[in-house]
């Protein structure tokens, strides 16, 4: 089952986010305060971010998070699939595919693009995304962090 995160899920979300950021799926860990900021924003409003809890066998099996933006290039709203994390014992049960189906059903006509990033070495995830119709976007992504 997939559902929106609630205040009661705060602790388990932070625990799973910590697991995700200490896995091979990401480039580096992030400070715990970032998890707190993210969950507070998602619980405050769904304007910029939403977090969804995945449940299986009545346990927290993982989560997904989207961030929302607008793109002239895409001609509408874009949902960035920021994170998908499924705990090891729940993998290969179709939860990732279910989450993508959930987003497709939820998005409405104004969301014109779903976008995500993946580590190239994460071949299992890349394979799933390709089977779901995602294509490589040939841009070099650049960031400027630590803004004051």
Burial of 53 (0-12, 13-18, 19+ CB in 10 A): buried
Q: How large is the average pLDDT for residues 54-75? A: 96
Global confidence as pTM: 0.91
State both tokens at 27: 């480039």
Domain ranges of the chain: 2-131
Between residues 137 and 90, the one the model is more confident about = 90
Location of structure tokens 């707190």: 36
Question: Residue 27 pLDDT > 90, yes or no?
Answer: no
Select from 46, 52, 45 the least CA-distant residue to 12. 52
pLDDT tens profile 32-47: 999 999 999 999 999 9
Question: Residue 63 pLDDT > 80, yes or no?
Answer: yes
Q: At what angle do helices 10-20 and 32-44 cross, to 10 degrees?
A: 130
CATH topology (fold) of 2-131:
Aminopeptidase (3.40.630)
Give the E-state strand segments of 31-136 in sequence order. Answer: 49-56, 59-71, 76-86, 111-116
For 20, the enclosing helix (H) or strand (E) is helix 10-20
């Amino acid at each position: 089952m997939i559902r929106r995160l609630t205040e009661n899920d705060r602790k388990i979300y932070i625990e799973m986010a910590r697991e995700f950021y200490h896995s091979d799926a990401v480039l580096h860990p992030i400070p715990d305060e970032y998890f707190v900021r993210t969950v507070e924003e998602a619980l405050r409003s769904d304007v910029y971010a939403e977090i969804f809890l995945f449940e299986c066998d009545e346990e927290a099996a993982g989560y997904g998070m989207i961030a929302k933006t607008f793109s002239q290039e895409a001609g509408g709203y874009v949902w960035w699939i920021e994170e998908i994390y499924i705990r090891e014992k729940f993998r290969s049960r179709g939860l990732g595919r279910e989450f993508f189906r959930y987003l497709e059903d939820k998005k409405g006509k104004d969301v014109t693009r779903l976008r995500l990033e993946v580590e190239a070495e994460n071949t299992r995830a890349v394979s799933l995304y390709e089977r779901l119709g995602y294509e490589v976007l040939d841009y070099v992504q650049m960031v400027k962090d630590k803004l004051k």
